[in-house]
């Protein structure tokens, strides 16, 4: 199962962690894994390009199954606000997957 943990500070997403494997289909054909990967990596790429910031990223090697992203603490207001909105959009997309595939993905917040 894929576990997504959203870390909030003052009700704003400051970091997220994705771990595990969905195992909802054969390797290379796992739609839940592909969807979660596309959403999370797309959000990170958008933060880097559109907000012009470099988040703190920790990810697994070739075996996959782990991604942790944290926004730097010191950011210009506009970049910070844009990044937070992009992360909220990412969460909405992940929750949409969870609605139909909750046996393969679980989302929690702390």
Selection from 55, 66, 64 nearest residue 13 by Cα: 55
CA nearest neighbour of 83 among 35, 45, 39: 45
The span from the CA of 37 to the CA of 67, in Å, is 9
Q: Is 51 a catalytic residue?
A: no
33 as an active site residue: the answer is yes
Query: Among 2, 13, 32, 33, which one carries the catalytic annotation?
Result: 33
Show the tokens assigned to 49. 């390009």
Choosing from 21, 42, 66, 79, the catalytic residue is: 21
Catalytic residue set: 21, 33
């Amino acid at each position: 199962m894929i576990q997504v943990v959203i870390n909030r500070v003052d009700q704003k997403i400051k970091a997220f962690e994705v771990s595990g494997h969905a195992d909802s289909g054969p390797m290379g054909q796992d739609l839940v894994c592909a969807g979660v990967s596309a959403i999370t990596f797309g959000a990170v790429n958008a933060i880097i390009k559109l907000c012009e910031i470099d988040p703190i990223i920790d990810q697994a090697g070739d075996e996959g199954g782990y991604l942790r992203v944290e926004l730097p603490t010191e950011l210009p207001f506009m970049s910070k606000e844009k990044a937070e909105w992009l992360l909220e959009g990412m969460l909405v997309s992940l929750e949409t997957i969870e609605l139909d595939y909750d046996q393969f993905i679980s989302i929690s917040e702390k």
